[in-house]
Structure formats: C-alpha cells, structure tokens
Amino acid sequence: MSEFTKTLCPYCGVGCGLEVSPPAQQGKATHRDSQGNPIWRVRGDKAHPSSQGMVCVKGATIAESLDKNRLHYPMVRDSLDREFRRVSWDEVFDIITRRIQTVRFTQGPEAICMYGSGQFQTEDYYIAQKLMKGCLGSNNFDANSRLCMSSAVAGYIQSFGSDGPPCCYEDLELTDCAFLIGTNTAECHPIVFNRLEKYHRKNRKVKMIVVDPRRTPTAEAADLHLAIRPGTDIDLLNGIAHLLMRWDRIDTMFIDDCTSNFSAYAEVIRHYPPDVVARQCGISIEDLETAARYWGESQRVLSLWSMGVNQSSEGTAKVRTIINLHLMTGQIGKPGAGPFSLTGQPNAMGGREAGGLAHLLPGYRLVKNDQHRTEVEDFWGLKRGQISANPGLTAWDMITGLENGNVGLLWIAATNPAVSMPDLERTKKALLRSPFTIYQDAYYPTETTAYAHVLLPAAQWGEKTGVMTNSERMVTLCQAFRQPPREAKADWEIFAEVGRRLGFIKEFAFANSAEVYAELAQLTKSRPCDMTGISHEQLQTQGPTQWPHPQESRGSREAGGETSQKRLYTDLRFHTPDGRARFGAYYSRGLAEPPDPDYPFVLTNGRLYGHWHTQTRTGRIEKIRSMHPEPFIEIHPRDAAKLGISDNQIVEVRSRRGQAHFPAKVTKAIAPGTVFVPMHWGALWANDAEANALTHPESCPDSLQPELKACAVQLMPVSHKITVQNYQLQSSQW
C-alpha cells in the first residue's frame, strides 16, 4: 500500500491534486515547524488531471499550517468582555440547541443565520443546508462565496438557464485566443496560468489579452494589455462587440439558431463606437481594435475571469456581457472556447452543487422556484411549505440584520468575516451587537474569535474525508490522512449532531461522509450537475471525475469508457425553457463610488502569490511570510510626485468609511489615478492595514455581491511607522 494519501490542495479553486505522506515514514530526519511539530510531506499528484503534478508555493507548504495555533476544545463565554472557559462537546451542544430553540420560537427561524465557507467540503455544505433550509426552515445560509463568485453564478443562470462553468482546463491548451479580464491568474490561480503560459509561449500564433488596471505578472505575459479605468469593463466589452458587428465577424447562424434577445443587445452596442469606448476606458483606439481583431480572427476564444469582474455593483451585467461576446461569435460548446469563471476557493463549486448560498437549494436548484422546493422537500421527507419561498439573508444582509436586531443567532464557520467583509468598522460594530455568535474554525485565534460567544474546534483539511469540486467541475475525493487534533470534529458532524439533538434523528443518521455524499448525489439526479454516478468509492478507485456524471454512465466508465463531460453545451442547447442562450443588453453604469475631488483615487485590492485570504493559514508559514513580509500600497510615480510620496513612505489612505496605513510602493505597474493594496492583512497581522476598512458594501442588484474591488479614497503621506506583527503564537492551549 502506498505511503501517500491522495487529496486536494485546500486553498484555491484551481484544485491541484496532492499526495501526502506522514513525517515518520520519510526515512530521514523528521522536519519540524517552528513550534516543534513534525511536518507532513506534500507533493503534487501527477495523476490528477487538473494539475498534472504541479503545485504553487501555497500547496507545497500547506502541511506547515496543520498544527500551528489550532483550536482544540469547545469554549464558551457569557459575554464578549469575559474570558472563554473550556466545556465538553455535550455541554456545548446543549447550549447551542437550547439557544436555537429559544430564537426559533421567540423570533422565528428567520432570525437564525449561518455564514459558511468555500473551504467546506461538499458534505459539510450539504448537511448545513439540510439543517438550516430543511429542518429549521431558515434559508439564511450564505457563504463567503457571496463575496467571491456569486456574480458568475447569477450571470450563468441568466444567460444559460443554469449555473455551471462550461469549459475545462484542457481548453487552456486548445485555444487560439485567451481573453483574461479581472483576473491576476498568475498570482491567484497559478497552476491554471502555468498551463496557459506554457502553451502560449510555445505557440506564437496564440494570442493572450489581459484586461486589468494593473500591470500584473499576468499582464506581463500578454500580447495585449488593456489597462482600462476601473469600472469600464462593460464599455470595453460592448466596444469590442461593436467592432465585431461592424466588421461582420459574428456567427449569424449560431445567433439565429441558439440564442434569444440579440436585437436588444445589438441596439445597445450601437452606442459603443471606438472613439467613445477608448476615451471612456482610457486606452487607445488602436488597442481596442487589436483586441477586437484578435477575438474576431480566432477560431477558438476562451475568456477567463474572477474577482475583478465578480466583485462589482454591476457584476452580473459584466459576466453576461462577457458571455454575450461568446454568443455573438459562437465561441462556446467546442474545444478551446467558452466563458470560464475561475472560482476563488477550493470548493466554491461544491457549495453551488449543495445549494450553499441563500438563494440556492441542492442540485443547482433555486429557492424561488416552486418545483425545486417541492422536489427537495419530498426528497428530505418534509411537509410541503417547510422550505421558505424567500431567499435568505446574504452575507451583508446578516450584518445589517445584526444592526437592526433581526438576527438572534449567528453561526460562522471556516471563514473570517472580521477581515473579509466590506466596510469593516461597520461590520465589527454589528458583530459586537450579536446576541449569540458561534464561531467554528480550525484555528485560534483569528480576528473573528473576538466576536464569538462560543468557539467550536473544527477538523480541517487532511483530518476528514470529503469531496471538493474545482473550477472545471472536477470532483476529487480528499481523504483524511491524520486524526483531528484533540477534540476537533468535522464540520458536517457538528451540524448533524445539532440536528439530531433538535429532534431530527433520521434526517441526520449518517454513519460517515460517504453516506452524506451519496444522499446529495441522489438529489442531483437529472439536474445539470448530475453526480449520481459519483461516489466516494468510485472516486477512490478511479480518481477524480467531472460532472455531469449520471449513474447510467457508471457502467461504461467502469468498463474503461469516457463518461464525464469535459464541456457543457456541446449540443448547443441550453437550460432555458426554449433551449436558447439569452443575450443580456447592458449599458455601463460604472463604479458605485466613483472618484471625486474629495476622494480622487480609485482603490483596488487583490491577492498576492503566496498568501491566502486573511492569512489564517499562510500567515503561520515562515516561507510565505518572508515572501510577503508586509502590506503596501502601489501608486503611480506621477501621483506620488504630486502628493510628495516617496518609496516606502507611509501613506494614510482614507475613504468615507475608514482609514488605513500602508508603506508606498511607487511603481508604473499601476495606472495613474488608481492605487492597489493587498487584502491579506487583518488586525492580527499588521497594525491598521486592513483593505476592507476602506471598501463599501454597495452590491450588484442581481447577485448581491458587494463591490469589494473599488472605492474612492484620498491619500496623504505621514511620518509614523506601520507595525507588522511578528505573529508567532505559542502552541494553542485550547
């Protein structure tokens, strides 16, 4: 038997396969982390179809985070100004269930909220949905994916009648033109970028266009970098469409046979001639024409996007406007082509399958759809009407719900909203008002710990067996390779035990996570994400597989046949009632908070190559800390000179909501008028360098995803120093 356990990297949505072996079996001196814990050995899984053995620095160093600063026992306190005290699981389950019943019968189930995470395995997500939306009758389950890719979900649903990225990673190596917009793929999805870049380098005829206000490492590799003004994406996309129309580079047969609403779209793009678009976007007409020419002359166009598009007050409109270009040129349902959203988190896709947003139900179903609710109620054995017809509170709604007293219980799991939510001072004040917050996480402390009444120790990656789905719909079994530390438990087991103690014994009678997955898979039968042919056993014996993968295909797969579908919509039929994809006709509205004389700069933010989100793991890994020792603000030399800011000088950044301080990085990589800060430094890791102290919560009306990517700020050089915490915690006693 192999000493290596196969699993998946738990960081980003690329979903790279890993193989892990225990420190004791290396036959060499055991490597230890800075706290003396033996380090497990990790390498890329060459057999994993998505990553083919490649990993980035995050995946390569993940094992170093396993034992640092773990939360080991359940803890409670009566109020936020008291110390926590250790309790047994039995005691804490009683406290939680009593509180749930009190809130349920005094304020109603809609006062109960759960805020989960794309770090969940699919089984965790599914049990949480069954507990919240089924048994308790509250649709108030939302996840941090709301802040990440809900605009992509809404865009796919509106254009195609269903969610689901239609492409696969093979398309990276089959395309003639890669159009990357709002994605710093090189740093945020490194292995996807490795595959694309290698192919691009070898095939000089293949074009790469990158649209980003920053000259990122991704943009460095492009044939054409369009550094558009923040908020002008729709202008650019409609401008490209205008030229394709003018040059007759459109696929009229595809438009006639496979789409609807083209005339409304054609009317809109009429208003985006090159001179207007170039002026609006701050690019040359020549560059705009080059982009349109690359697109129009390519047989196969693949577009890739992530948070730069999704985190916008017009996020859904942007996604649909990208899709429009594919529809007008017939660039979908074939190798090397299609609109491909890159998910941020390792299992945001699994969350979508399990119904893990406030408006979703398992199996790519919608809360608002009567038939979908009935199907789920019947499957779960619930009374008709048990699932509310109203979508629940989204991530930001939960914050405003705390402000106005409508939230009686908030259960946060595997995420760190005290760093990641917009308008952070307001968020923190709201969290302080929570009557009862349960915080379930693998680590102690995080910034959110300060706002919890109850802490529950969660097993994390490698300590529980479950399934994750990556951006290309590849489902991988993540096998446990070690025991959870002390009393930590898998998230789904915690939810299930609470369910049983609330009286839902048979609903949560699962012996293991394989049974949980088997139940969810049945609920996807005949849905776009049909996974009835997938099981833990099948994944273990045959390796990762893509959905849709219906049960009837299992036989041929076992006989060596190819059953999973690499691409969606190859038959050019979509999930809309008439089978046609819909054009969305949108004029650009621009930023929700454009710059003005008082706040003249646009602040944008993003990730760095080594760090992950709020540093809960990566901040505890020496190699990554030394790669990215401190936060910074990128500012163009012209702006810096005007304000008297020199390299490394501390800059005070103010928005209408808050302020933060960053050392200046004066660089031409950022366009004049725009500044960039990384989003990783919360209060634990630096003094006063929180990107979200500045951002605002204005959201896309369709996806309800906040516009985290842009807000208006003013800048001022100051003389004081920034303190970067050397946050070397002792081994947790908890």
Candidates 519, 504, 416, 415; CA nearest to 467 is 519
Cβ distance to ligand SF4 smaller for residue 140 or 618: 618
Told to check if 68 binds ligand SF4 by CB under 6 A, we report: no
Looking at beta carbons only, is 344 or 392 nearer to ligand SF4?
Answer: 344
Instruction: Print burial letters for 205-240: b (CB count within 10 Å at least 16), e (below 16).
Output: ebbbbbbbbbbbbbbebbbbbbbbbbbbbbbbbbbb
Q: Which of 5, 6, 11, 350 binds ligand SF4 (CB under 6 A)?
A: 11
| From 6, 41, 48, 58, residue interacting with ligand SF4 (rule: CB under 6 A) | 58
Complex with ligand SF4: residue 56 or 288, whichever CB lies closer:
56
547-576 binders of ligand SF4 (CB under 6 A): none
Of 6, 197, 33, the C-alpha closest to 624 is 33
Can you say whether residue 248 is alpha, beta or left, with left for phi > 0 and alpha for psi between -120 and 50 degrees? left
State which of positions 379-398 bind ligand SF4 (CB under 6 A). none
Identify which of residues 195 and 426 has a Cβ nearer to ligand SF4 in the complex: 195
Token pair listed for 301? 């166009």
Binding window for ligand SF4 (CB under 6 A); candidates: 53-61, 506-514, 534-542, 680-688 = 53-61
- 621 in contact with ligand SF4 (CB under 6 A): no
Of residues 64 and 507, the one with the C-beta less far from ligand SF4 = 64
Among 52-60, 77-85, 138-146, 541-549, the segment contacting ligand SF4 (CB under 6 A):
52-60
**Among 208, 324, 221, CA closest to 269:** 324
Each residue 661-700 as x (binds ligand SF4 by CB under 6 A) or -, in order, gives ----------------------------------------
Would you give the DSSP letter of residue 592? S
Between residues 11 and 295, which has the closer beta carbon with respect to ligand SF4?
11
C-alpha 6/C-alpha 539 separation (Å) is 11
Tell me how far apart the alpha carbons of residues 535 and 528 are, in angstroms, rounded to a whole number. Answer: 17
Applying CB under 6 A, among 9, 227, 498, 523 the residue interacting with ligand SF4 is: 9
Residue 197 Cβ vs ligand SF4, minimum distance, rounded to whole Å: 13
Distance in Å, CB of 60 to ligand SF4, minimum: 7
Smallest distance, ligand SF4 to C-beta of residue 164, A: 20
* Residue of 19, 48, 49, 59 interacting with ligand SF4 (CB under 6 A): 59
Site for ligand SF4 in 14-33 (CB under 6 A): 14-16
Least distance CB 56 / ligand SF4 (angstroms): 3
Which residue from 55, 354, 402, 666 is in contact with ligand SF4, where contact means CB under 6 A?
A: 55
Name the segment binding ligand SF4 (CB under 6 A); options: 48-56, 69-77, 395-403, 616-624: 48-56
Residue 190 binding ligand SF4, by CB under 6 A: yes
Q: Residue 472: which residues within 8 A CB-CB, separation 6 or more?
A: 15, 50, 165, 167, 168, 169, 546
Residue 439 phi/psi, 5° resolution? -125, 115
For residues 191 to 230, the per-residue mask of contacts with ligand SF4, x marking binding by CB under 6 A and - elsewhere, is: x---------------------------------------
Query: What is the CA 724 to chain-centroid distance, rounded?
Result: 27
Considering the complex, what minimum distance in angstroms separates the CB of residue 62 from ligand SF4?
7
How many H-runs (helices) and E-runs (strands) does the chain carry?
A: 25, 28
Closest to ligand SF4 by CB, 132 vs 191, is 191
The secondary element (H helix, E strand) that includes residue 438 is: strand 437-441
Q: How far is the CB of 57 from ligand SF4 (least distance, A)?
A: 7
> Three-state DSSP class for 551?
helix
Instruction: Identify the DSSP state of 512.
Output: S
Among 5, 6, 12, 613, the residue binding ligand SF4 under the rule CB under 6 A is: 12
Nearer to ligand SF4, 55 or 520 (CB): 55
Instruction: Tell me how far apart the alpha carbons of residues 214 and 671 are, in angstroms, rounded to a whole number.
Output: 6
CB of 190 to ligand SF4, least distance (A): 5
Question: How do beta strands 85-86 and 75-76 pair?
Answer: antiparallel
Shortest Å distance, C-beta 601 to ligand SF4: 31
Cβ atoms within 10 Å, residue 482: 14
Cβ closest to ligand SF4, residue 55 vs residue 132: 55
319 Rama sector, left if φ>0, alpha if ψ -120 to 50, beta otherwise = alpha
Rounded to a whole number of angstroms, the minimum distance from the CB of residue 730 to ligand SF4 is: 28
Q: For residues 716 and 731, is the Cβ–Cβ distance under 8 A?
A: no
Q: What is the distance between the alpha carbons of residues 287 and 60, in angstroms, rounded to a whole number? A: 39
Q: Does an H or E element contain 497, and which?
A: helix 491-501
Kindly state the smallest distance separating residue 188's Cβ from ligand SF4, in Å.
8
- Give how far Cα 111 sits from Cα of 253, 497, 560, 700, Å: 51, 21, 51, 24
| Interface contacts to ligand SF4, rule CB under 6 A | 9, 11-12, 14-16, 51, 55-56, 58-59, 190-191
